[in-house]
Amino acid sequence: MTLIKSISGIRGTIGGAVGDNLTPIDAVKFASAYGTWLKQQRQKDQHTVVVGRDARISGDMIQNLVMNTLVGLGIHVVDLGLSTTPTVEVAVPLEHADGGIILTASHNPKQWNALKLLNAKGEFLNGAEGAKILEIAEQDRMTFADVDSLGYITKNDAYIDMHIDEVLKLNLVDANAIKAAKFKVVVDGVNSTGGIAVPLLLERLGVETVKLYCEPNGHFPHNPEPLKEHLTDLSEAVVKEHADLGIVVDPDVDRLAFMDERGEMFGEEYTLVACADYVLGKTPGNTVSNMSSTRALNDVTKQHGGTYEASAVGEVNVVELMKQNNAIIGGEGNGGIIYPELHYGRDALVGIALFLSLLAEKKLSVSDLRASYPNYFMSKKKIELTPDLDVDAILKTMAETYASEKITTIDGVKIDFANSWVHLRKSNTEPIIRIYTEAPSQEEADTLADRFIAEIKAIANS
């Protein structure tokens, strides 16, 4: 069992020993540290924090612990209940709140949960802010409110609808064209809050929707990471229903993948490529994604006369570079769309609305749309970490070995070859080394990944 503390939040498995897992005591400890930090940053009489959760089995328990800890610090809590990560991000500024907490472990299996921490803009904390909260937690420097100064909880379950309202207000979301296209879509909500939010959005857009695993009970029917090997049921349903496409999101609805009318994956890397193509065609500008994302975004950006930059992996890093480069759209190749016109956060609902607007405008099938983009293939593999594995030393050796190639070390080691690349990095969310590769064919991408896995193991065993 594991407890991981990083810029992605406090993430761990439920149960087990305190300090080694996400136990109730750990949830209270880190919520206390966050609330203490928030009060130090924004010194005023009353503080407000927005809290929402995905549908994980442990979510209700963790949320009640977190909310009442904040109450104990004298902080007012706006309880969104079952919600999505982007909905909480949208709610924070709308509530004029001082911060937000989302209880979700994103794509991790059901035994995991996490506290994702937001600032007053509804954006993830940066590394320095996260480090300060960890310092407060480790030193137990928390002081709680007296009985006359306790906070209180206000419930507001309207924010998913309000989030959808904000999406539909966007100038580039062409609701009329989408309605006229009369799309039929199968939605896999992985039995979490995407099963609430995505059908509601599609209903507002006049899309015929077939629901698959849209009961928000937290019993994930398959591995919740939206990858091809986990989505056979969606593939079969799209074909059976003669649907125009399939939509799948992760448990907290910040990652988005599409399936074409034949039941084939559009490619989660190409979610951002397609949305960027649409946005850049209407409002030319720059783009940003992380270093583990496809080269196709660079290609499409250049076609529209813009410039592309790559950041370190992690939403906060993408957002920081997007602001520096005035990027009009960006995100992560795992299906995360960041459209600043609404907010600086990965948002599957925004991605769906932009993608359907593009599809309605182009009047193409999903498979034909995919065929119109540059064709790259990725391999995403991993190596489980053991306590004796010195990851930094291994990555340093790899960089030295390939020093004659283009090397980037802002986040692990990325090696750019003429027609392919490999990115090696330690995960922020799991005890693994990620090995991502991209090449002109799937066989070449897989072969490249396997080669580097073998090289890493050889170094580790030497």
Domain boundaries, the chain: 3-156, 163-371, 377-461
Residues 78 and 51: beta-carbon distance below 8 Å? yes
Name the 3-class secondary structure at 168: helix
Superfamily of structural domain 3-156: Alpha-D-Glucose-1,6-Bisphosphate, subunit A, domain 3 (3.40.120.10)
Name the 3-class secondary structure at 333: coil
Which residues on adjacent β-strands are paired with residue 288? 309, 330
CA distances from 259 to 144, 433, 461 (A): 50, 28, 41
Q: How confident is the model at residue 39 (pLDDT cuts 50, 70, 90)?
A: very high
**Would you name the residues annotated as active-site residues?**
106
Q: What is the overall mean pLDDT for the chain?
A: 94
CA distances from 448 to 211, 227, 418, 424, 451 (A): 38, 20, 13, 12, 5
**How far is residue 294's CA from residue 380's CA, in Å, rounded to a whole number?**
12
**How far is residue 213's CA from residue 392's CA, in Å, rounded to a whole number?**
41
Arithmetic mean of pLDDT, 202-208: 98
- Which has more pLDDT, 5 or 212? 212
Name the 3-class secondary structure at 363: coil
And the tokens for 272?
A: 């951002």
pLDDT score, position 8: 60
* Residue 232: other Cβ atoms inside 10 A: 11
Asked if the domains 163-371 and 377-461 are classified in one and the same CATH topology, the answer is no
Q: How confident is the model at residue 2 (pLDDT cuts 50, 70, 90)?
A: low
Which residues on adjacent β-strands are paired with residue 251? none
With a pLDDT cut of 70, the percent of the chain lying above it is 99
Residues 38 and 66: beta-carbon distance below 8 Å? no
Residue-wise pLDDT for 74-130, tens only, equals 999 999 999 999 999 999 999 999 999 999 999 899 999 999 999 999 999 998 999
Pick the CATH number of 163-371 from 3.40.120.10, 2.40.37.20, 3.30.70.2860, 3.50.50.60: 3.40.120.10
Run of H or E residues at 137: helix 127-139
* Residue 138: other Cβ atoms inside 10 A: 11
Q: Is the pLDDT of residue 70 over 60?
A: yes
What is the residue-wise DSSP string for 211-276? EES---SS--SS-SS--GGG-HHHHHHHHHTT-SEEEEE-TTS--EEEE-TTS-B--HHHHHHHHH
Q: Is the pLDDT of residue 446 over 70?
A: yes
Q: Say what the pTM is.
A: 0.93
- Closest listed residue to residue 160, CA positions, set 106, 53, 60, 83: 83
pLDDT score, position 7: 59
Q: Is the pLDDT of residue 462 over 80?
A: no
Count of alpha carbons within 13 angstroms of residue 179, beta-carbon side: 10
Residue-wise pLDDT for 366-423, tens only, equals 999 999 999 999 998 998 878 778 888 999 999 999 999 999 999 999 999 999 999 9
Residue-wise pLDDT for 221-267, tens only, equals 999 988 889 999 999 999 999 999 999 999 999 999 999 999 999 99
**How far is residue 103's CA from residue 55's CA, in Å, rounded to a whole number?**
9
In sequence order, what are the residues at sequence separation of 6 or more whose Cβ sits closer than 8 angstroms to the Cβ of residue 292? 313, 332, 333, 423, 425, 434, 436
pLDDT score, position 244: 98
R_g over Cα of the chain:
22
Phi, psi values for residue 260, rounded to 5°: -80, 180
- The class level of CATH for 377-461 reads alpha beta
Residue-wise pLDDT for 307-320, tens only, equals 999 999 889 999 99
pLDDT score, position 391: 87
pLDDT score, position 347: 98
**How far is residue 198's CA from residue 403's CA, in Å, rounded to a whole number?**
46
Q: Is the pLDDT of residue 303 over 70?
A: yes
Pairing type for strands 47-53 and 99-103 reads parallel
Find the length of the chain: 462
